Structure 1
Amino acid sequence: MQNYISQQNFNALLDSLISQGKRVVAPRTNAGTVLYEPLANAADMVIDQLPRRSGKEAFFPLCEDIMTYQKEGQKIELQDIDPTRFLETVLVGVRPCDAAAIPVLDAVFSWDYKDEFFLERRKKTTIIGLACTQADDACFCTAVGLTPADPKGADLFLTPLEGGGYACETQSEKGEALVANNKELFAEPNGYKPLPLAEPQTGKFDLKKVKAWLDEHFEDPAWDSIATRCVGCGACAFVCPACHCFDIVDEGTEKQGKRRKNWDACGFWKFTHHASGHNPRDQQPKRYRNRIMHKFKYYDDKFGQTLCTGCGRCIRLCPVGIDIADILQDIDKIEVKVKVEENS
């Protein structure tokens, strides 16, 4: 169902949700950096920049407590964190590359084990997506099968219009409920044309060819050159909307402390470091190989889709200038060369 909402009414919608005690998370500026963070009021929202980190933090926080412990004498008290205390949340201004990653994470956190922390936050969150009208050289969503106006993962999807305001398309029962509960702020479509959409990089590589090469080249000299610049800092994983590795650690003293779930990254040296001292990924090329394999082979093998949405954050923030899209393009060319040789 399509509706129209003016910018003024959209701000009024967000302010109303905040006044109701809901956690409204949207892009906002913090110390010069745009991040997805809770708003105090709609005026704080920034809608013309992609946040440095992704919207996954609304469901998968960088750090979170899952249990506390306290010891007095011989008595030990354990207390689980109650996920039902999580606030109702509206995640606003989510670009298609971020929104499309949310179903990807859903599959991981509800597969063989259901992560109640992630799933409870997902259940309590309504996602308002926003079409992209600008892109830079790092954007490549169209190369991985998405578009700048792809509503996948959103409950309500907004498209900016030339005359101001947004065309609104409900995508789920949550989106329909949001509109129905605030129907005085929405109107019939006003006939304005959508603003021109962004034009990300496209046609750089063929995902099927990349996957075919990865299927047959776990051991290949090419990995040494592909990963030669990687320093294992983990920045790419921490800004990615689809990466989901985490560690669980106990922090505290003998008397009291907490068990915490913290983000982790397969690019870190200790990620696969065994207690025996053995590390099956003891060199950086092996660790970077796993990153590429996980995104474009392993996840596809398991769930039938890629673990990348082409947001370009890893390209923008890599301290040594690694461009994952260029790497995939190089792999694509290797595969093409192999086929040519086979047919000659």
Structure 2
Amino acid sequence: MPKTITDQNLRLLIDALVAEGKRVVGPRAAGTMTLYAPLAKGEELNLGELPRRSAKETFFPLCETILTYERDKEGVRVTDVDPGTIPGTVLVAARPCDVAAAPVLDSVFSWDFKDEFFLERRRKTTIIGLACTRADDACFCTAVGLSPNDTKGSDLFLTPLTDGGYRCDAITEKGEALLATHASLFAEGDGTPAPLAEPSLGKLDLDRIKAWLDTHFEDPLWGEIAERCAGCGACAFLCPACHCFDIVDEGGETKGTRRKSWDACGFGKFTNHASGHNPRDVQPQRYRNRIMHKFKYYVDKFDQRLCTGCGRCIRACPVGIDIAEILSAIGTRDQEPGTGKD
């Protein structure tokens, strides 16, 4: 049977988790923005708007050290960073478009190589999702097969109620354990759900879009779109599902660190070879790869789409490129085969 929790008790739950030594991450005010950030107390939880950056930083930090090295007369010592030191975490009040990206990223980080840093964070994190009751013109989760109350990726899911509290549904064993451990903060019951958000863009024919991408690797559309693209990478850095990274050694001859840092396929030198050759040396090729990766390559490889319709790329693009408009346009284009080779 579902349970309910008041807004006050939700904040007390955060206080209790912090007191247990958990790292608690949730929407928090940061100047004029809201960001997913560590919470020191429940009062800091800010549920007014979608955080500007996605929740993927909970599992995939912007930059992290993976080893250190030191060289002296006795030789070179390399010390791996122990993923076991990653703390237990609770991600609170994460929106469905952010939460749904976590299991999508699981596929690539556990594919031919298992990224223990990402996977350890996933293992040690309990996710409390929160349904959306508001949407703006950039939201399009329903267009990519999700919804404002999609529970995909959540361990415990909160649905806002008309009385200001939340219905709580345990989705996984992690969610059930959290409910059991803090049972005194929850009440039996159901409640009346508040009206859900209504994204302005309905469902897209994603199969038709995929079919067009399969046969239109070379198409004038890519040049038309990318005439405006500045290659700034804002779309990739804000996206819940983009996951490109670079690994660089930083330091000197005697000591330093090896660090993993975010990268983006829209950057001019992302595919630059040591020889100087760049197979994607102009922006239309790079933007084509962004769309192909999200709606063709990832589907071919993992049978999942690499987009959750959060709309952050639309809001942040300095030149007004709208991925939802691009997908809508592709969905109406002639399906006659072009050149589909990669």
TM-score (normalised: structure 1): 0.96
- Residue type of the partner of 2:333? I
User: How many angstroms does 1:333 deviate by?
Assistant: 1.4
The equivalences for 1:1-344 within 5 A come to 1-189=1-189, 191-203=190-202, 205-335=204-334, 338=336
Task: Provide the secondary structure at the position in 2 that maps to 1:251.
Answer: strand
- Residue type of the partner of 1:23? R
Paired positions, count: 337
* Counterpart contact for 2:97–2:309, Cα < 8 Å: yes
Structure 2 CA distance for aligned equivalents of residues 323 and 243 of structure 1:
16
Task: Provide the secondary structure at the position in 1 that maps to 2:228.
Answer: coil
Task: Provide the secondary structure at the position in 2 that maps to 1:46.
Answer: coil
User: How many angstroms does 1:208 deviate by?
Assistant: 1.0
* Counterpart contact for 2:29–2:35, Cα < 8 Å: yes
Alignment match, 1:342:
none
Task: Provide the secondary structure at the position in 1 that maps to 2:269.
Answer: helix
Structure 2 CA distance for aligned equivalents of residues 165 and 220 of structure 1:
51
* Counterpart contact for 1:62–1:263, Cα < 8 Å: yes
User: How many angstroms does 1:87 deviate by?
Assistant: 0.5
* Counterpart contact for 2:4–2:191, Cα < 8 Å: no
Gaps of 5+ in 1: 340-344
- Residue type of the partner of 2:59? F
- Residue type of the partner of 1:314? C
Structure 2 CA distance for aligned equivalents of residues 31 and 113 of structure 1:
39
Structure 1 CA distance for aligned equivalents of residues 34 and 272 of structure 2:
34
* Counterpart contact for 2:268–2:281, Cα < 8 Å: yes
User: How many angstroms does 1:140 deviate by?
Assistant: 0.2
Residues 1:204 and 1:2: Cα distance change in structure 2 (over 3 Å) = closer
* Counterpart contact for 2:145–2:203, Cα < 8 Å: no
* Counterpart contact for 1:141–1:148, Cα < 8 Å: yes
* Counterpart contact for 2:24–2:90, Cα < 8 Å: yes
Instruction: Render the CA deviation track for 1:146-198: whole Å, top value 9, x for unaligned.
Output: 01000100000000100121000000000000000011111111x53111000
Instruction: Render the CA deviation track for 1:177-235: whole Å, top value 9, x for unaligned.
Output: 0000011111111x531110000133363111111100000011221102211110000
- Residue type of the partner of 1:3? K
Instruction: Render the CA deviation track for 1:95-129: whole Å, top value 9, x for unaligned.
Output: 00001101100111111111000000100000000
Gaps of 5+ in 2: 338-342
Task: Provide the secondary structure at the position in 2 that maps to 1:335.
Answer: coil
- Residue type of the partner of 2:213? L
* Counterpart contact for 1:96–1:129, Cα < 8 Å: yes
- Residue type of the partner of 2:274? A
User: How many angstroms does 1:14 deviate by?
Assistant: 0.6
Instruction: Render the CA deviation track for 1:240-284: whole Å, top value 9, x for unaligned.
Output: 000011000000111111000000000001110000000000000
- Residue type of the partner of 1:168? C
* Counterpart contact for 1:204–1:329, Cα < 8 Å: no
User: How many angstroms does 1:74 deviate by?
Assistant: 4.6
Structure 2 CA distance for aligned equivalents of residues 67 and 2 of structure 1:
45
Q: What is the CA RMSD across the aligned residues, in angstroms?
A: 1.2
* Counterpart contact for 1:29–1:46, Cα < 8 Å: yes
- Residue type of the partner of 1:202? L
Structure 1 CA distance for aligned equivalents of residues 315 and 201 of structure 2:
17
Structure 2 CA distance for aligned equivalents of residues 242 and 201 of structure 1:
22
* Counterpart contact for 2:142–2:203, Cα < 8 Å: no
- Residue type of the partner of 1:329? S
- Shifted more, 94-103 versus 25-34: the winner is 25-34
Structure 1 CA distance for aligned equivalents of residues 202 and 117 of structure 2:
38
- Residue type of the partner of 2:37? E
Alignment match, 2:340:
none
* Counterpart contact for 1:2–1:168, Cα < 8 Å: yes
Task: Provide the secondary structure at the position in 2 that maps to 1:150.
Answer: coil
Instruction: Render the CA deviation track for 1:31-50: whole Å, top value 9, x for unaligned.
Output: 32211110011101111211
Overall identity of the aligned pairs, in %:
66
Structure 2 CA distance for aligned equivalents of residues 153 and 122 of structure 1:
11
